[in-house]
Chain A
Amino acid sequence: MHLAYPVVLAALLFSVGVYGVLARRNAVLVLISVELMLNAVNLNLVAFDAWLRDSLHAGQALTLFTITIAAAEIGLGLAIVLLLFRARGTADIDRATALGDPAETLAEEAPAGAGALKGQATA
């Protein structure tokens, strides 16, 4: 089989994964897209391993390795999504921006922090 088929397939899979990661709003679907990208890489590894006739089959070994890691990673990721859903009632990734640094809120927080410090000092 010509190398082009699996490689093109892998590229398509990867592109679909990238699109999913960047565009989907549901966190679960983003995780699935990440899996798609990983699997595109796996496909590449296996294809090149076969094409290069590697006697040690490093590509296949690495693929197994990646699958294991991916399983662990998806477990962790799903757990985070689950906790996010429990806390917020939604798994919408656009609304999970609590770690951002919006300008307005900071300006309001600063005096509050100062007040808290002052409270500590007086206490």
Chain B
Amino acid sequence: MNLALPVLVPALPALGAAATLAAGKKAPGLARPLAIVPVAASAVLALVVALQLGTGQALDAATRLTPTGGPDIALAVHLDGYSSLISVLVGLVATCVQVYSTAYLKEDPRYPSYAALVSLFTAAMFLVVYSGDLIVLLVGWEVMGICSYFLIGHHWETADARSASLKAFLVTKLGDVPFLFGIFMLGADAHSFRIQDVLAAATDGKLGHPTLIALLLLAGVAGKSAQFPLHTWLPDAMAGPTPVSALIHAATMVAAGIYLVARLLPVFLLSGAALVVLAVMAAVTMIGSALCALAQDDLKRVLAYSTVGQLGYMAGALASGDREASVFHLVSHGAFKALLFLAAGVVIHAAHTNSISAMSRIPGLRKRVPDAYWTMGIGLVALIGLPPFSGFFSKDAVLSAAEHAANGEAMTNGLGPASAVPQAAGWIVLVSAALTALLTAAYATRLFLLAFHSPAGAAAVAPEVVAPAAADRATVVADHEAGAPYSPELDEADPATAEPHAMRWPLWVLAVPTMTFGIAGVRSDWLPALLDGGSLRPSGVTAVTSTGLAVAGALLAYGAWRSATARLGAGRPAPAPVGRVPEQAGAPAVEVIVADPGRTLLGPLFGPARHGFGVDRLYTALFVRPVIAAARLVRFLDREVVEGYVQGSGIGANLLGRAVRLAQTGNVQTYLSALLAGVVLLTVLVAV
């Protein structure tokens, strides 16, 4: 196989990024083709590489990049089924996002830099996927981090975007420091940074401290993939443009952490403790984020918390020792979550608000964005996990992996003994995943019903109501529920053309894998043959249970919504004036108008869940304030103590000079007297 192809895949978008930046302002007409063509070309190349490689093959090639004195750093390529699958996903989503962005950011003056960063990001993700060397992988990993920082802060005019980008950067770096040490320890123990050497060392039992290494690596994974203690950056990252959320914070970057664990799973299998930690992390993340998603008012934040939860599923599958199920869910989630975010972008453009409670007051929203309405419905059904959509198969693969692990027969597919996975990890994942399936169905149903099917929206009577005037935008944007976390986005789109073609067909392109990709896991010689050769077929008990739970969750949310709506209808004489509220400007009494099933379902938990259970506040109290206090202390020490010494030396010399100057009276006789005194003193000293 020609090695130039896999090398070109990451190289093309990187060159495209440089070209986009260079062309940038000089040739604005070139920015769009330069953004789309390299990414699309490398997507095609990724597909070609995957086809050439075929199933069940692995290819390794390396050239020494630099000697380090210790283990060498090699420019290594590792291709196998996993890298094929994920690179195709990355290429597909990145191309869709680039096409979509041309319309979404049409009026944006900083579009070239945005497109260049997206291309660079894509290149970095390809690098991570193809890299066969941990250090090279780390390079891609960090480039993604910095691209994410810039892209979240794309609208740096707003304070929210600035602080969110900083938060994302700091939190992920916080995880990356232990991650770096984990890589160093792996390299030191295996005497190589090549992944295949590391894995060989792991199977031979040459790793000295597998638990420590696994835990250090997990810190980086938690940061990148937004798992429990370090998940707080992802919901705030929604301050970036919506396509960025689709590409980075749903389909690819957050998946990098999962992919890394999948690649290094034999190392993790050496340590039962690390797997249990991973399972607990995944369980807390899943349930917590699902509860948070049920209470959010910001459409994008609902999806963000949902991403966090679905990443929890993948981490749970890894904790159960089944990387096949994890990557299966990664790919299907990547497709449907990118779809959901892109559809959400269309809806946000049309509604001019992120707030679903505000959307529920906009009449006829679903008629204005029919494609987004349908594709969002498809994506949400896939997210809930109803057959035959992809989410059902992949979620069920995770559940059955957890079930096997709980029974002590984990499906490690030859990477290690089944006994390597503690049964406790399987149980934790199984129970929390089942509970999360219920909650996921509830919040997805709530989102869909509130945004598109509210009574106000159904009572779309007046056609002039359909297009809110631009003058109203300020009031509509400020219309979200008071006190709810909200990541507003500056958007300049004309609501009349909320769905241009470039924003429409990526939705349907992504809807295809969302609907059909799950079938790939049914036959063992299809998708599993490409991966480790295990089974991804839905197993009876878990399939029935998860579907039942999903249906139950959806019905629960529907029932709560019905009763809340009924109560609302009883409290108000007619829904029609409700529909007019956004048009009447001013500040409507939001709490009364919106029939939020989340409020009914969560009860007293609603308030804490809306604010992410106060994790941010806890971190503020635990870390931010002490750090600020320490910074103040350092400033005090610098200003008052260190600078005091510097100035003190100057003042001291000055004072000394004044004292010496007193002797310089100009009177010769004084000098002579002093001279005589000195002579006498010396004489006496010498004589005595």
Contacts from A to B (Cβ < 8 Å): 18, 21-23, 30, 93-94, 96-103, 106
Q: Judging by beta carbons under 8 Å apart, are B676 and A18 in contact?
A: yes
**With known contacts A101-B661, A103-B658, A22–B666 Cβ distance under 8 A:** no
A22 contact set on B, CB distance < 8 A: 669, 672-673, 676
A97 contact set on B, CB distance < 8 A: 665-667
Q: Is B687 an interface residue (CB 8 A)?
A: no
For A27, the closest partner residue in chain B by CB is: B668
User: Number of contacts between A and B (CB, 8 Å)?
Assistant: 36
- For the A-B complex with A18-B676, A100-B664 known, give 4 more contacts whose Cβ atoms are closer than 8 Å: A22-B676, A23-B669, A99-B666, A100-B666
**With known contacts A18-B676, A103-B661, A93–B669 Cβ distance under 8 A:** yes
CA–CA, A34 to B668, complex, Å? 13
Return the CB mask of B106-141 against A: 1 if under 8 Å, else 0: 000000000000000000000000000000000000
Near A by CB (< 8 A), chain B positions 651-688 give: 658, 661-662, 664-669, 672-673, 676
Residue picked from B658, B667, B668, most chain A C-beta under 10 Å: B668
CA–CA, A97 to B668, complex, Å? 8
CA–CA, A98 to B664, complex, Å? 11
CA–CA, A93 to B665, complex, Å? 12
Main SS of chain A's interface residues?
A: helix
- Give 20 pairs: A residue, B residue, CB < 8 Å, sorted on A: A22-B673, A22-B676, A23-B669, A30-B669, A93-B668, A93-B669, A94-B667, A96-B668, A97-B665, A97-B666, A97-B667, A99-B666, A100-B665, A100-B666, A101-B661, A101-B664, A102-B661, A103-B658, A103-B662, A106-B661
For B663, the closest partner residue in chain A by CB is: A101
Q: Judging by beta carbons under 8 Å apart, are A100 and B669 in contact?
A: no
A103 contact set on B, CB distance < 8 A: 658, 661-662
B676 contact set on A, CB distance < 8 A: 18, 22
B665 contact set on A, CB distance < 8 A: 97, 100, 102
Top 3 A-B pairs, shortest CB-CB distance: A100-B666, A97-B666, A101-B664
Q: Judging by beta carbons under 8 Å apart, are B672 and A100 in contact?
A: no
A106 contact set on B, CB distance < 8 A: 661
Q: Judging by beta carbons under 8 Å apart, are A21 and B672 in contact?
A: yes
A99 contact set on B, CB distance < 8 A: 666
CA–CA, A98 to B668, complex, Å? 11
B658 contact set on A, CB distance < 8 A: 103
**With known contacts A21-B672, A22-B676, A103-B658, A98–B666 Cβ distance under 8 A:** yes
How far apart are B450's CB and chain A's nearest CB, in angstroms?
A: 73
A18 contact set on B, CB distance < 8 A: 676
How far apart are A19's CB and chain B's nearest CB, in angstroms?
A: 11
For A100, the closest partner residue in chain B by CB is: B666
For B668, the closest partner residue in chain A by CB is: A93
For B666, the closest partner residue in chain A by CB is: A100
B673 contact set on A, CB distance < 8 A: 22
CA–CA, A103 to B669, complex, Å? 20
Return the CB mask of B437-476 against A: 1 if under 8 Å, else 0: 0000000000000000000000000000000000000000
How far apart are A26's CB and chain B's nearest CB, in angstroms?
A: 12
CA–CA, A100 to B670, complex, Å? 11
B666 contact set on A, CB distance < 8 A: 96-102
B668 contact set on A, CB distance < 8 A: 93, 96
For A97, the closest partner residue in chain B by CB is: B666
How far apart are B663's CB and chain A's nearest CB, in angstroms?
A: 9
CA–CA, A22 to B675, complex, Å? 11
CA–CA, A85 to B228, complex, Å? 95
B661 contact set on A, CB distance < 8 A: 101-103, 106
For B673, the closest partner residue in chain A by CB is: A22
Residue picked from A21, A93, A101, most chain B C-beta under 10 Å: A101
Q: Judging by beta carbons under 8 Å apart, are B669 and A21 in contact?
A: yes
CA–CA, A22 to B668, complex, Å? 9
How far apart are A90's CB and chain B's nearest CB, in angstroms?
A: 14
Residue picked from A93, A98, A100, most chain B C-beta under 10 Å: A100
Return the CB mask of B46-83 against A: 1 if under 8 Å, else 0: 00000000000000000000000000000000000000
How far apart are A116's CB and chain B's nearest CB, in angstroms?
A: 22
Residue picked from B658, B661, B669, most chain A C-beta under 10 Å: B669
CA–CA, A63 to B653, complex, Å? 48
For A24, the closest partner residue in chain B by CB is: B669
CA–CA, A118 to B176, complex, Å? 57
How far apart are B218's CB and chain A's nearest CB, in angstroms?
A: 65
For A98, the closest partner residue in chain B by CB is: B666
CA–CA, A20 to B662, complex, Å? 24
A96 contact set on B, CB distance < 8 A: 666, 668
A94 contact set on B, CB distance < 8 A: 667, 669
A30 contact set on B, CB distance < 8 A: 669
B662 contact set on A, CB distance < 8 A: 103
CA–CA, A90 to B658, complex, Å? 30
CA–CA, A85 to B599, complex, Å? 106
B664 contact set on A, CB distance < 8 A: 100-102
A23 contact set on B, CB distance < 8 A: 669
A100 contact set on B, CB distance < 8 A: 664-667
CA–CA, A102 to B664, complex, Å? 7
A101 contact set on B, CB distance < 8 A: 661, 664, 666
How far apart are A21's CB and chain B's nearest CB, in angstroms?
A: 6
